[in-house]
Amino acid sequence: MNDASTPATVVIYSGGMDSYTVLHRALREGREVHALSFDYGQRHARELEVAARVCRNLGVPHQVVDIRAIHGLIDASALTDARRALPEGDYAEENLTATVVPNRNMILLSLAIAKAVNIGAGRVDYGAHGGDHVLYPDCRPEFVEAMNAVAGIANFQAVEIHTPYLQAGKAEILADGLAMGLDYADTWTCYRGEALACGRCGSCRERLAAFAANDATDPLGYCQRPDPAAEPAKGGE
C-alpha cells in the first residue's frame, strides 16, 4: 500500500512518447508513480524494453503484465497479427483502421484500475490525446467520461482516470515534454520493432511532424526520415 501522505497513481506506460510524457508529468506533481505495461501479443517487444529501461533508471516501480492469453480475442489488427501488412502514410481513418486493437484501452484501463484499488492509489493516468480522436474510439472524451463514471462505482474505492492531454495534439505533448527537459531518445514509437524506426508508418510520421512543429530534431535513428513539413500527419499514437 502507498503512503497516504503521498498521492499515488498508476500510469499505463507503453514506452511511447505520450505515456513517457504522462509518466514524467505525474512525477513532477510529486506523486508516487507505479508504471504498468502490458504484453498483449503486440508484434514486437521493443516498446516494453524501452519502458523497463526508463523505469529502472528513474527508480519507478514497473510491472509488465502478461496478457498474451487473450491474443486470440484481439488479433484482428495489424498491430497484433504479423500476417497483416502494416499500413504506411499519415494517420487517417481511411488508411489506418487496420491498426485498431479491439477494445484495447477498456481492457488495459480495467486492469490498471484493479491495481490502483489494490495498492490504494486514487488515480490511473493514460496518454489518450486529441490526435487519436479521429481514429481510436477508446481515446475520445466520450469514452474517458464513461470509463471515469464506471471507475467511480466499480469498487468500494473510487478511482479517477486522468488524461492530461485529452484535448492536446502530439506537438503540444512534445512541447510540454521538451519544456520539462525530457529526452525522447528514451521512447519508441515505430510500429516495427527493428533496430531503427522505419519513418514510413503513421506513428513515425506523426512523431516526426511533432518534432518539426517544435523546431526540434528527433533523437531516434530512422531507416528513412521523410520531410514531415511537406506532408503533415493527422493523428496519433
CATH number at residue 162: 3.40.50.620
* Domain count across the chain: 1
Q: Which residue shows C-alpha cell 505495461?
A: 37
Residue 203 resides in a domain? no
Tell me, what's the pLDDT at 162? 98
Spans in the chain with pLDDT lower than 70: 1-4, 43, 76-100, 131-134, 226-237
In a domain, 201, yes or no: no
Angle between helices 170-179 and 202-213 (to 10 degrees): 50
Give the pLDDT confidence score for residue 64 in this predicted structure. 97
> Is 110 one of the annotated binding-site residues?
no
Q: Is 68 inside a domain boundary?
A: yes
What is the domain range of residue 39?
8-193
Q: Does any domain span residue 183?
A: yes
Residue 72 among known ligand-binding residues: no
Ordered alpha helix ranges (H), the chain: 17-28, 46-58, 93-96, 104-119, 141-151, 170-179, 202-213
Taking CA atoms, 217 is separated from 17, 51, 112, 198, 209, in Å, by 14, 21, 33, 16, 10
Is 180 annotated among the ligand-binding residues? no
The answer to whether 222 is a known ligand-binding residue is no
* 139 assigned ligand-binding residue: no
What would the pLDDT profile of 35-66 be if each residue is shown by its tens digit?
999 998 776 788 999 999 999 999 999 999 99
Q: Is 40 marked as a binding-site residue?
A: no
User: What is the model's pLDDT at position 235?
Assistant: 41
Q: Are the beta carbons of 177 and 216 closer than 8 angstroms?
A: no
Q: Is 23 annotated as a binding residue?
A: yes
Q: Is 204 annotated as a binding residue?
A: yes
Q: Is position 20 annotated in a ligand binding site?
A: yes
Within a domain: 215: no
CA distance 129 to 175: 14
Question: Is 19 known as a binding-site position?
Answer: yes
What value, to the nearest 5°, has the Cα angle with vertex 138 and ends 234 and 28?
80
Q: Quote the pLDDT of residue 32.
A: 98
Residue 96 placed within a domain: yes
- Is there a binding annotation on residue 169? no
Give the global pTM: 0.87
- Structure-block grid coordinates of residue 223: 531507416
What local confidence, expressed as pLDDT, does residue 230 receive?
A: 46
Report the greatest alpha carbon distance in the chain.
52
Q: Which residues, in sequence order, are CB contacts of 179 under 8 Å at separation 6+?
A: none
Q: How many CA atoms lie within 13 A of 17 on its CB side?
A: 30
233 assigned to some structural domain: no
User: Is 152 annotated for ligand binding?
Assistant: no
What was the pLDDT predicted at 224? 73
